[in-house]
Chains A and B, each alone.
Chain A
Amino acid sequence: MGPALLSVRDARKRYGEVVALRGVALEVGAGEALALLGPNGAGKSTLIRCLTTLLLPDAGAFEIAGTDAVAAPAAARRHFGYAGQESALDKVLTGAEMLRFQAGLTHLTMHEGRERARELLRRFGLEDAAGRAVETYSGGMRRRLDLACALMHRPRVLILDEPSSGLDYEARRGLWAILAELKREGVAILLATHDFEEAETAADRCVLLARGRVVGSGAPQDLRAALGSWVLTAALAEHPRPGDRERLAELFAALPGTPIPPAPSSAEFAQAVPHASGDLSWPEVLRAEAARCGLALAALGQRQPTLQDAYLAATGAQERA
């Protein structure tokens, strides 16, 4: 990681009785992308709104390229580009006009603005659509234009809130390729996302947020590795007897490792486990135990841990706390 271009320390924010941020800290270096993962209400958007000077925090230090974003918000705005959840574009304007507008807002001269707009239209594959009204653009084109606007003044920090929401797979891949290019140019990227593939592909590190707290952080591969060697999964057979679910839960609780909370309606149990120490694999151990209790299992297996497992384990533990 290069020198930190974005740093947050002890960020706190409360909306009445609801505490949105409870001492969040993170850093993003030059040429690095950090994914902010967390369930709805975890505090991702609040953190991003504080960083982008849209919201005043109750406490904490927010620095962008060495500028205090709370004490000197106007100066901080010169250093970051921001694209929110919804593309904030004027649909009446054409793509080229939208960029000209952004150039004016960021005080580029007419000549600089024109050159930069041409460069961004080329880079984002929007040259052919430059003269068309934004309302005729597809979702992917709007996202790209929004990102182009955010980059108009060559910011050193790029802050994105769910950049790929509503995009098809091709458009998402295109977006990630652009983010990779920006990283190579030394831009520090902070992206809040719900998309694990996006976090794995586009981010070097992830910060897991739950109920306003950081509950995990690290490179995606490190987060997966820290969880365990395998994820053991099992599901009860159809029409389980009363008490079967509790018995299976007890069997899982007796295993080493970290439980992974199931989806609310799911009948599947999952737990991250270390390498099995004996001759039997974990599914074989569990099958034997289930047979001993007279439990009928419909599915039993093990797989490599995913980032989603790490996220569920960390945020689930926080929810239970």
Chain B
Amino acid sequence: MSSGFWQETRIQTWRWFLHTRRRPIVVISGLFQPLIWMTLFVLVLKDSMGPVIGMPYLDFVTPGALLFTAFNASLNAGVPLLFDRELGFLDRLRVAPLADRYSIVLSSAIHIAAITLLQCAAILLAAFAIGVRFHGGLSGALTGLAALLLVILGFTAVSLGLAFQFRRHFEMIAVVMIVALPLVFLSSAFAPLERLPEWLRGLVLLNPVTLAVEPLRLVFTDPEWTFSTPLATTWLGTPTPAACFAGLGLFTLFAGLWSRRVLRRKLA
């Protein structure tokens, strides 16, 4: 990558951060949404879930809330780009002598990753304040961070790819709304896999949100965790954190390749 590519990536990332600083409501709402969900789920499910999951529901749901935050923010990453397109600003980027137009995507991904990790840190602090503790040690923290980053990068790539497929932001928002909730609720973010019917359990395991939340929850709650610890029993087999990371890595890789292809085609 040339120095020109990094310069244009840096300046575009700077622009996104200026937006965030001047319009903080987007970040604040992105922070409150998972906290509200978390509170509601704890209030409704803590008694019924306790015996099934074998731990306080708050401990169980905190990794889910982190994943929900990362997933939600990433899936909406393409919306500002669509606004740029509708307002003609994208043409400014398209006629600029950019070293590589992938800087448009990379700057957006860096911004979303940074903001989402900040939101996750805020949720962690809130959870810590009400008694949730992390048990996985430094290696667990790094593994959890890796799972979050893969989710952020994968879904940001999907979102940016979609942003170049749609012409209007409301089309994309409609699709994101249709896709987002099923992906979250057909995952183990807020309820354990064991609560699902046998036939659905395997399918849910293929969901990238589940692939990320299972190892994240393990490192969060089990001080003895390893990459080969069995996570659940499904008709697809018994997944381990290593298998989950492999699946998640593949998803992120394919999402990145797809978005790059879309970008090349649409910005040619």
Query: Which of A100-108, A187-195, A242-250, A278-286 is found at the contact surface with chain B?
Result: A100-108
A104 vs B10: C-alpha distance when bound (angstroms): 8
Complex interface: chain B residues within 8 A of A52 (CB): 95
Given A84-B91, A92-B23: 16 more A-B contacts, CB < 8 Å: A54-B94, A74-B98, A78-B97, A80-B95, A88-B88, A88-B89, A88-B92, A90-B15, A105-B8, A105-B11, A105-B12, A105-B96, A106-B96, A107-B4, A107-B8, A133-B22
Q: Are A105 and B93 in contact (CB under 8 A)?
A: yes
Minimal beta-carbon separation of B139 from chain A (angstroms): 38
Minimal beta-carbon separation of A78 from chain B (angstroms): 4
Interfacial residues, chain A to chain B (CB-CB below 8 A): 52-54, 56, 74, 77-78, 80, 82, 84, 86, 88-90, 92-93, 97, 100-107, 133, 149, 153
Q: Are B97 and A153 in contact (CB under 8 A)?
A: yes
A90 vs B22: C-alpha distance when bound (angstroms): 12
Ranked 8 nearest A-B pairs via Cβ? A104-B11, A77-B97, A105-B96, A78-B97, A88-B92, A88-B88, A82-B95, A107-B4
Residue in A56, A80, A86, A93 whose beta carbon sits within 8 Å of that of B18 in the complex: A93
Q: Are B15 and A93 in contact (CB under 8 A)?
A: yes
A-B contact pairs, 16 of them (CB 8 A): A53-B95, A77-B98, A82-B95, A84-B91, A86-B88, A88-B87, A88-B91, A92-B19, A93-B18, A97-B18, A101-B15, A104-B7, A104-B11, A105-B92, A107-B4, A107-B97
Decide yes or no whether B99 CB sits under 8 A from chain A: yes
Q: Are B11 and A149 in contact (CB under 8 A)?
A: no
Decide yes or no whether B25 CB sits under 8 A from chain A: no
A88 vs B88: C-alpha distance when bound (angstroms): 5
Complex interface: chain A residues within 8 A of B268 (CB): 56
A106 vs B95: C-alpha distance when bound (angstroms): 10
Interface residues on chain B, size class: 20 to 34
A82 vs B94: C-alpha distance when bound (angstroms): 11
Residue in B7, B11, B95 whose beta carbon sits within 8 Å of that of A77 in the complex: B95
Complex interface: chain B residues within 8 A of A54 (CB): 91, 94-95
Minimal beta-carbon separation of A160 from chain B (angstroms): 12
Residue in B11, B18, B94, B96 whose beta carbon sits within 8 Å of that of A92 in the complex: B18
The total of interchain contacts (Cβ-Cβ below 8 angstroms) comes to 68
Minimal beta-carbon separation of A297 from chain B (angstroms): 49
Q: Are B8 and A104 in contact (CB under 8 A)?
A: yes
User: Quick one: closest B residue to A49, CB to CB?
Assistant: B91
Minimal beta-carbon separation of B268 from chain A (angstroms): 7
Q: Are A90 and B95 in contact (CB under 8 A)?
A: no
User: Quick one: closest B residue to A105, CB to CB?
Assistant: B96
Complex interface: chain A residues within 8 A of B7 (CB): 104, 107
Q: Are B96 and A77 in contact (CB under 8 A)?
A: yes
Q: Are B89 and A101 in contact (CB under 8 A)?
A: no
Minimal beta-carbon separation of B259 from chain A (angstroms): 20
Complex interface: chain A residues within 8 A of B95 (CB): 52-54, 77, 80, 82
Complex interface: chain B residues within 8 A of A105 (CB): 8, 11-12, 92-93, 96-98
Looking at A86, A89, A90, A102, which has the most chain B CB atoms within 10 Å of its CB? A90
Q: Are B91 and A90 in contact (CB under 8 A)?
A: no
Minimal beta-carbon separation of A121 from chain B (angstroms): 18
A92 vs B19: C-alpha distance when bound (angstroms): 7
A1 vs B252: C-alpha distance when bound (angstroms): 55
Complex interface: chain B residues within 8 A of A84 (CB): 88, 91
What are the interface flags for B109-145 relative to A under an 8 Å C-beta threshold, 1 for contact and 0 otherwise?
0000000000000000000000000000000000000
Complex interface: chain B residues within 8 A of A153 (CB): 97
A149 vs B268: C-alpha distance when bound (angstroms): 23
A93 vs B22: C-alpha distance when bound (angstroms): 9
Complex interface: chain A residues within 8 A of B87 (CB): 86, 88
What are the interface flags for B77-113 relative to A under an 8 Å C-beta threshold, 1 for contact and 0 otherwise?
0000000000111011111111100000000000000
Residue in B14, B92, B99 whose beta carbon sits within 8 Å of that of A149 in the complex: B92
Complex interface: chain A residues within 8 A of B98 (CB): 74, 77, 105
Known A53-B94, A53-B95, A54-B94; contact A90-B89, beta-carbon cutoff 8 A: yes
Residue in A56, A103, A107 whose beta carbon sits within 8 Å of that of B99 in the complex: A107
Complex interface: chain B residues within 8 A of A106 (CB): 96-97
Complex interface: chain A residues within 8 A of B23 (CB): 92
Complex interface: chain A residues within 8 A of B92 (CB): 88, 102, 105, 149
Minimal beta-carbon separation of B92 from chain A (angstroms): 4
Complex interface: chain B residues within 8 A of A149 (CB): 92
Minimal beta-carbon separation of B229 from chain A (angstroms): 47
Complex interface: chain B residues within 8 A of A100 (CB): 11
Complex interface: chain B residues within 8 A of A56 (CB): 268
Complex interface: chain B residues within 8 A of A92 (CB): 18-19, 22-23
Minimal beta-carbon separation of B108 from chain A (angstroms): 14
What are the interface flags for B1-31 relative to A under an 8 Å C-beta threshold, 1 for contact and 0 otherwise?
0001001101110110011001100000000
A192 vs B94: C-alpha distance when bound (angstroms): 20
Complex interface: chain A residues within 8 A of B97 (CB): 74, 77-78, 105-107, 153
A89 vs B91: C-alpha distance when bound (angstroms): 10
A82 vs B97: C-alpha distance when bound (angstroms): 11
A321 vs B66: C-alpha distance when bound (angstroms): 67
